Amino acid sequence: MITRRTLMAGLTAATTLAMLPRWAYAAAPAEGVDPALVTFIKGLPKTEYHVHLEGTLEAEMKFALAKRNGLNLPFADVAAMKASYQYHDLPSFLAIYYDGMKVLLREQDFYDLAYAYLAKAASQNVIYTEMFFDPQEHLKRGVAMEAVIMGITRARRDAEAKLGIRSQLILCFVRDLTAESAMAALDAALPFKQHLVGVGLDSDEAGHPPEKFAAHFAKARANGLHVTAHCDVDQVDTLKNIRTALVDLKVDRIDHGGNIVQSPELVAIAKQRGMYFTVCPTFSGTLRRGIAQPVDVVRSMLDAGLKVTISSDDPAYMASEYINEVLLRAVSRSKLTRADLAGIARNGFEAAWLPAADKTALLARLEAYLASVA
């Protein structure tokens, strides 16, 4: 089993671990960060575009939902469940993540899940978010698409009315399930398309390149939806997959995508296309595969002039570190300045899949904040 000690030893030895669970960090997120910058980050109006709702399912809520749904969980308590969140790569993370979401069965469960995330995000000054969900996993358990989408949609409406946080929803295809299963999910979701803003691609990339979903993306586009795709770091064929997503499929956004800095040609294409990247440093903050010196993703993407946004990905499985904590850690590890943070926040609002007037209004709130703290 991977323990904290073996992980830390691996870190010092600069092994090829692609990603680390959050508990591998010894320090608190704000440790060593200038207190003025901590205050600045907390007050900063923010967006978040790379957050899997099922990845915000906290252990406490899993127990509550299991009880409500008459399910038994193989853990004595919350602490034992959290202690089981040990992974060392994407597949080992996904096994835990998919197992965890089995407690989600009814419309109210999806409402509670989404409302809890939106409340947490709003408490950290996220004023606009586009959230992922993985319906194929729920359909497999016999949950109706309507229950999933309408539970989340009801939570989005309530959170906007009560907490002022605006949000939209992105349906992710679970890329390691069949293309037919993904198409069936899309077809089941289209009657509810007014509640969706886009489709995406997540789960295990190995052997499941973006072109597997060309027809799904085309159908989604024909139905007025935006398209994004995970290009997880250090995957086999990562540059080929980034190229396919960027050039052939012409996705509107890339999730993660850090390996792009290893290809000046792809960097140039992304810049020319004005691509935004949703980077999650907790999960994919360092490139290690096949290189002697690990590369910090956020720093190198910023230095390459790419449009970086930052998100929390699956915070419930990453020591419950939400966007403020993620940004605080990014300050330390990627040497982010106040100007970098302002630029990242600005990218977030500019990347929104919203009408231009709405984007302008949100950006004005950011600029007012930046002027007030200048």
For residue 309, the minimal CB distance to Zn ion (Å) is 13
58 binds ligand HPA (CB under 6 A): no
How many helices (H) and strands (E) would you count in the chain?
A: 17, 10
Distance, CA of 346 to CA of 349 (rounded, Å):
5
Taken in order 124, 129, 134, 138, is the CA torsion positive or negative? Answer: positive
What residue type is 272 in one-letter code?
Answer: Q
Number of Cβ atoms within 10 Å of the Cβ of 14: 11
Q: Which structure tokens are listed for 313? A: 């990905």
3 state SS of 16:
coil
For residue 52, the minimal CB distance to ligand HPA (Å) is 4
- Nearest Cα neighbor of 103 from 146, 56, 63 is 63
Distance, CA of 23 to CA of 171 (rounded, Å):
29
Contact by Cβ (8 Å): 133, 152: yes
Contact by Cβ (8 Å): 84, 74: no
Q: Indicate which of Zn ion, ligand HPA, none lies near residue 127 (CB less than 5 to 8 Å, by partner kind).
A: none
Q: Count the site residues for Zn ion by CB under 5 A.
A: 1
Q: Count the site residues for ligand HPA by CB under 6 A.
A: 11
313-332 residues in contact with Zn ion (CB under 5 A) are 313
For residue 332, the minimal CB distance to ligand HPA (Å) is 22
3 state SS of 223:
coil
For residue 337, the minimal CB distance to ligand HPA (Å) is 27
Beta carbon nearer to Zn ion, 120 or 147: 120
313 binds ligand HPA (CB under 6 A): yes
Distance, CA of 90 to CA of 325 (rounded, Å):
22
322 binds ligand HPA (CB under 6 A): no
**Residue range at the interface with Zn ion (CB under 5 A); choices 40-48, 98-106, 172-180, 310-318:** 310-318
22 binds ligand HPA (CB under 6 A): no
Distance, CA of 6 to CA of 17 (rounded, Å):
11
Beta carbon nearer to Zn ion, 112 or 313: 313
Beta carbon nearer to Zn ion, 125 or 311: 311
- The correct pick among 232, 252, 296, 321 for binding ligand HPA (CB under 6 A) is 232
325 binds ligand HPA (CB under 6 A): no
- The correct pick among 46, 62, 230, 307 for binding ligand HPA (CB under 6 A) is 230
Q: Which structure tokens are listed for 58? A: 């906290």
Q: Indicate which of ligand HPA, Zn ion, none lies near residue 203 (CB less than 5 to 8 Å, by partner kind).
A: ligand HPA
Q: How many CA atoms lie within 13 A of 96 on its CB side?
A: 22
203 binds ligand HPA (CB under 6 A): yes
137 binds ligand HPA (CB under 6 A): no
**Residue range at the interface with Zn ion (CB under 5 A); choices 30-38, 117-125, 136-144, 305-313:** 305-313
- The correct pick among 48, 58, 130, 202 for binding ligand HPA (CB under 6 A) is 202
- The correct pick among 25, 40, 97, 115 for binding ligand HPA (CB under 6 A) is 97
Q: How far is CA 295 from CA 186, 204, 233, 286, in A?
A: 37, 22, 11, 5
Contact by Cβ (8 Å): 134, 186: no
Distance, CA of 374 to CA of 369 (rounded, Å):
9
55 binds ligand HPA (CB under 6 A): yes
For residue 297, the minimal CB distance to Zn ion (Å) is 14
Interface residue list for ligand HPA (CB under 6 A): 52, 55, 90, 97, 202-203, 230, 232, 283, 313-314
Interface residue list for Zn ion (CB under 5 A): 313
